[in-house]
Amino acid sequence: MRLSVQEVEFDAGAELNAFSAGLAGAGAVVSFTGIVRDSDGTLSAMEIEHYPGMTEAAIAAIITQAQTRWDLADVLVIHRYGKLEPSAQIMMVATASRHRLAAFEAAEFLMDYLKSRAPFWKKEIGRDGSTWVDAKDEDESALKRW
């Protein structure tokens, strides 16, 4: 298991290769990368605040839940904080399992929980001021399927 909460950029391809190289017995690797999206061309940056200490503990607990639920060969979670430019990578998860369904489900589970249960807050800094991103009802209800 690798868990990193960091300010610096990461290389998703290098992370994916390192993750896959260490696997034994896995037939399926799923990765997810979240990217700063400039919906309407007015975003100058995304600022991500987090709760040092709690963030790592919350993510570790989410990973443990996933490992309990699915037979996973390995799990990777990287999440950045600080000021990110449009198109920058925000975070990444990877899961490995014997079969594809478990790898997909575990990655979606991790994403759903990271979204609403890990202490990160996003602020969009635009040309005309900045706004905290509102949590979506659909993100909360996404947890119900697990």
Partner 1 sequence: MEVLYFAWVRERIGLPRERVETTAPTVMALITELMAREERYALAFSDLKSLRVALDQKLSSFDAPLAGVREVAFFPPMTGG
How many Cα atoms are found within 13 Å in the side-chain-facing hemisphere of 70?
26
28-35 and 89-97: which strand pairing?
antiparallel
Query: In terms of Cα–Cα distance, which of 117, 132, 121, 126 is closest to 81?
Result: 121
Q: 131 with 124: CB under 8 angstroms?
A: yes
Query: In terms of Cα–Cα distance, which of 1, 3, 2 is closest to 118?
Result: 3
Interface residue with partner 1 among 2, 83, 98, 122 (CB under 8 A) is 122
In angstroms, what is the minimal distance from the CB of 23 to partner 1?
18
In angstroms, what is the minimal distance from the CB of 107 to partner 1?
12
The string of DSSP letters for 27-48 reads -EEEEEEEE---TTS-EEEEEE
Nearest CB to partner 1, comparing residues 83 and 123: 123
Interface residue with partner 1 among 23, 88, 123, 126 (CB under 8 A) is 123
Q: Kindly identify the residues of this chain, within the stretch 61-120, that bind partner 1 according to CB under 8 A.
A: 79, 90-91, 100, 111, 114-120
Q: Kindly identify the residues of this chain, within the stretch 44-83, that bind its own copies according to CB under 8 A.
A: none
Nearest CB to partner 1, comparing residues 19 and 120: 120
Tokens matching residue 85: 């430019």
Residues that bind its own copies (CB under 8 A): 11-17, 20, 23, 25-39, 87, 89, 98, 100, 103-104, 107-108, 111
Residues that bind partner 1 (CB under 8 A): 34, 48-51, 53-54, 57-58, 79, 90-91, 100, 111, 114-123, 132-135, 139-140
